[in-house]
Amino acid sequence: MLVATVALVLALGVASRVLADRLRIPSVLFLIVAGIAIGPEVLGLVSRETFGGGLSAMVGVSVAIILFEGGYHLHLDKLRESPTALTRLVTVGAAITWLGTAAAVVVFLETSLEVGLLVGALLIATGPTVIGPILQVVTVRDHVASVLEGEGVINDVTAAILVVVVFEVLVAGNGTPAALVGDFAIRLFVGLVFGALVAGVVWLVLDRARSRPCAAPLHARLIVLAGVVVAYAGAETIASETGIAAAAMAGFVLGNVELPYHEDVIDFLDDLSVVVLSFIFVALAALIDFADIRALGLAGLAIVVAITLVLRPAVIYLSTTSERFTHNERLFLSAVGPRGIIPASVATLFAVELQALGRTQEAQLLAGTVFLIIFATVVLQAGLARQIADYLEVSPMRTIIVGGGRVGLSLAERLEQDGENVLLIDLDPDAVEKARKRGLTALEGDGTDADVLEQAGADDAKTVIATTPDDDVNLLVCQLAKTTYDVESVASRVNQPDNVDAFESLGVHAIDLSMATAWSLENVLERPSLSAWMNELGRTGDVQEIEVTATDLVGKTIANLNAEIPDGVIVGLLTHRNGATEVPTGDHELREGDRVTFLGQTDAVDRAVKRFHPHD
């Protein structure tokens, strides 16, 4: 019976993943629905008794594999994207979430402070089990993704250890409150050190496996799997609930060294995580007791509101004070903080522990509150993540700039200010480091190498711009972008005027550096006010060209549209479908396919763009 149940759970999990990929909806939504369908509340095919005492061990190893994979993909380069925001989010932000959730539970459910702190500790975690599927279907700028991924891995570890310490010290009474911090630090230290040691051993073994290349890829997969299990089980043997930290640390270390058979390991981890994620999400969702959730009543809904609409936005806005995060990106981060496997698995464990202590009502309250938050955030936040991202317009396609010199760096900064998803590529490590210090996403590599462009995301890029001082390099970059990756818009700096024709023959927007410099100098001398205003674009003023897609505006004259154009912005140019561009008069009628250029104050231009080109 158990084998048949496991097979059913895995089949539902894989089917949910396939359906999610087809509909471009995070798979966790389908996984949790599938689990509820086969659970006691609907079909009754799976219950707590189905897995016996083995569920805790299976979930523990599965979570370790997922966190190992999350740590493996959490490169130092990603952490450098927004180090201050991530540090605040996993320290001060985690503390605010813990204490704030505890306060909400105590106030609304009228329970003890220690139970409130226990629930709060559980709900710190978001985790790669829910963040990973979201980022598979939602494209955001790298610094936003790095914050979500880093928070998921680090706060999963924090929650797993903190909840054990809170239970043992405050609930079970095996210590004093003063011992809480020390106990937490010791467990975290044990997990991190043991995980790093296991990672070192795995690296040495894989390095020696190079001598047998015919069998090495298979051995690499098996060695990595053994390393995950050893890291988790070994740390758990030393101190309970340290295995999660060990697995995450082992993955992080191996992901940031030159690991032999790196590509084979990535492919293996991706496939393995799909299987275990499917299993544990469906299995744990099947164990949701809706009676415990219904018993919370309106107080439960109040807690959901407090966590999702008060605490989460407050934590995000305190953590992301950098100008690099746009207002809409902060709203997106506030709206996407679903809880995942760590709260579900650990809540099940400690509900049993509370019952053993004779605190049945508090055990039901714990399980009901945690599963309500998981269910609400997965359905509303994970399930609607793509729609939220589209509404807030935080999913720009990639703009790749090859060349990190003065021109490329300045252009990258201006495009970033405009909200573009920019990646800078340069062979010079100093140029890459300089770009990163300025808060830009940068990749060290040769922009004329197809593998590097593919790694940069050229397959999905909307724009590739070559800005190096070498026209041969720029031309090769443009050829690759046009012919290999079919990039919609390709532009290049042209250093020698005689080479302009070669670029234009490829359909590349060629910017003659000498002419551009002369034009800029002429503007400074002949049109100083306009030149000064253009230099402030993206700060106090802006210029945007868009296609008119608002059907209710087509056929109207510019004069009739005055009421639709915000104060502080004017229609500077009108480009017709035939390519003719002119300064419009009040009698000009908008036609389908026309493009309008707005000039004015930044906020006013943004409002005009949204009115004339509403998001699909």
Which pLDDT belongs to residue 257? 85
Mean pLDDT value of segment 393-406: 85
DSSP string computed for 186-239: HHHHHHHHHHHHHHHHHHHHHHHGGG-TTTHHHHHHHHHHHHHHHHHHHHHHHS
Q: Find the range with the poorest average confidence among 152-161, 465-474, 479-488.
A: 152-161
Q: Find the range with the poorest average confidence among 60-64, 79-83, 389-393.
A: 79-83
Q: Of 485, 448, 452, 444, whose CA–CA distance to 470 is shortest?
A: 448
H-type alpha helices, 426-550: 429-437, 450-456, 471-479, 500-504, 513-526, 528-535
Distance of alpha carbon 367 from alpha carbon 349, whole angstroms:
9
Q: What is the pTM for the complete model shown?
A: 0.69
| 297 CB-side CA count, 13 A | 4
- In the structure, what pLDDT confidence band is assigned to residue 91 with cuts at 50, 70 and 90? very high
Mean pLDDT value of segment 244-265: 85
- In the structure, what pLDDT confidence band is assigned to residue 616 with cuts at 50, 70 and 90? very low
Q: Are 154 and 127 in contact (CB under 8 A)?
A: no
Task: Please state, as a whole number, how many other Cβ atoms lie within 10 Å of the Cβ of residue 376.
Answer: 20
Distance of alpha carbon 250 from alpha carbon 242, whole angstroms:
12
The tokens for 206 are 């894989």
Q: Of 76, 75, 74, 78, whose CA–CA distance to 66 is shortest?
A: 74
Q: Are 396 and 420 in contact (CB under 8 A)?
A: yes
| Lookup result for tokens 């920019």 | 422
Say yes or no to pLDDT of 470 above 80. Answer: yes
Phi/psi for 306 (5° steps) reads: -60, -40
The tokens for 245 are 């930290």
Mean pLDDT value of segment 234-251: 87
For 51-58, the CB contacts below 8 A with 24+ separation are: 51/2, 51/5, 51/283, 52/2, 55/283, 55/348, 56/345, 56/348, 56/349, 58/279, 58/280, 58/283
274 or 257, greater pLDDT: 257
Say yes or no to pLDDT of 216 above 70. Answer: no
56 or 335, greater pLDDT: 335
H helix or E strand, kind and range, residue 416: helix 406-417
- In the structure, what pLDDT confidence band is assigned to residue 532 with cuts at 50, 70 and 90? low
The tokens for 379 are 């359905």
